[in-house]
Amino acid sequence: MTYTVDVARGAEVLARGGLVAIPTETVYGLGADAHQPEAVRRIFAVKGRPTTHPLIVHLAHVDALAHWARTIPPFARRLADVLMPGPLTLILPRADHVSDAVTGGRDTVGLRVPRHPLAIALIEALSLARGESHAGIAAPSANRFGSVSPTTAAHVHADLEGEDVGVLDGGSCEVGLESTIVDCAAADAGPSILRVGGIPRELIEEVLGAPVPLATEGPSRAPGMMASHYAPRARVVIATRETIDDAIAHARASGLRVASLARGATHADRSITMSTNEAALARDLYATLRALDGEGLDVIVVELPEARGLGLAIADRLTRASR
Ligand code: TXA
Ligand code: MG
């Protein structure tokens, strides 16, 4: 059974090796004390996720980066100073003490300082409970492997029903999309973006004063980013303004119940108008996909937002969901 915890109880559960779902500004994470490999291994069992997929370690302060990373190149330091706390994960060479359970045996570790007061309070309470100055919570998104990330505590309870997991309710996630992941592990090669997300690429480039390549195509450098991810149960079909009416008619003709997520109203069974405000669209996207699954829709026809700013990450998730 999942159960509700407050910060104090959550820290106790983590300290004795249990799992706690944590609110962050992006999505909810399924957390364990990153210093306890046995606890971290339980995350994979609960999620049904391959154990070779590395986890992000969540820290309370930018100062803790130096405890978890062996070195921090100047460009990574600059990103951390300007954009943390926030929806940004840096991949850095791991410190020697970081366990293989967290990194999937890699020589790097993903580090992030979430911008959510309850997440920070929980990490600090874990530090106190363990008598450490730089505790970290290792956490993937708190959904079962392959499905849409949870953006409310209710989503977590629904997904992890039957599991022995404490849930810290921090309300609805303010950003609603996973963090942007920047690979900073190869100081000579410079940074590259492994996953687009809550911090727009344009902002990263502005902070660094230089273009930053996307490494999201090609052989998977961030395992766990395969196409089938981020998908609701309903089939997602990508359309344009020009093709959307035909796509809806085609699916309805085969007797399927069709929803549309588009900039205007359509003749779908359920027509949802996309916000033109990208932040609002991102915030509500996963809850909308979940709600349509709950209503039993078979197909969701979506019009992609423009691929810039947060629209790039929204388009990325919807495209993955459609594969
Ligand atoms: O916003 C987020 O990032 C959320 C919240 C909970 O922090 N977390 C999240 O975790 O989305 P997850 O595990 O669902 O996705 C993290 C991605 C995975 O694709 C993983 O392979 C990649 O980050 N990753 C983690 N550590 C890595 C590393 N050392 N090298 C390469 N990729 C890494
Ligand atoms: Mg995930």
Q: Is the CB of 290 under 6 A from ligand 1?
A: no
Query: Of 292, 233, 295, 305, nearest to 262 (Cα)?
Result: 305
DSSP state letter for 222 = S
**What's the pLDDT at 264?**
94
Residue 202 alpha carbon to ligand 2 centre in Å: 23
CB–CB of 197/313 below 8 Å? yes
Q: Is the CB of 103 under 6 A from ligand 1?
A: yes
Which of 25, 143, 181, 221 has the most ligand 1 atoms within 8 A of CB, as the residue to mutate? 181
Q: Is the CB of 192 under 6 A from ligand 1?
A: no
Mean pLDDT for back-to-back runs of 10 residues, the chain (323 residues): 97 98 98 98 93 95 98 98 98 98 97 98 97 96 90 97 97 98 95 98 98 75 58 94 96 96 96 95 97 95 95 96 91
Beta bridge partners of 91: 110, 183
Q: Is the CB of 2 under 6 A from ligand 1?
A: no
**What's the pLDDT at 217?**
54
Residue 246 alpha carbon to ligand 2 centre in Å: 33
Residue 140 alpha carbon to ligand 1 centre in Å: 6
Domain covering 235-321, topology: Rossmann fold (3.40.50)
* Backbone torsion region of residue 30, taken as left when φ is above 0, otherwise alpha when ψ lies between -120 and 50, otherwise beta: beta
Instruction: Tell how far CA 297 is from the center of its chain.
Output: 25
Say whether pTM exceeds 0.85.
Answer: yes
Which atom in ligand 1 lies closest to the alpha carbon of residue 87? Answer: 1
Map out the domains of the chain as residue ranges.
3-208, 235-321
CB–CB of 18/5 below 8 Å? no
pLDDT, one tens digit per residue, over 274-320 is 999 999 999 999 999 999 999 999 999 999 999 999 999 999 999 99
Q: How far is CA 82 from CA 62, 77, 178, 191, in A?
A: 10, 9, 19, 15
CA distance 90 to 56: 9
CA distance 255 to 322: 20
Q: Is the CB of 40 under 6 A from ligand 1?
A: no
CB–CB of 300/234 below 8 Å? yes
pLDDT, one tens digit per residue, over 240-253 is 999 999 999 999 99
- The packing angle between helices 201-208 and 74-83, to 10°, is 120
Query: Where does 3-208 sit in CATH, by number?
Result: 3.90.870.10
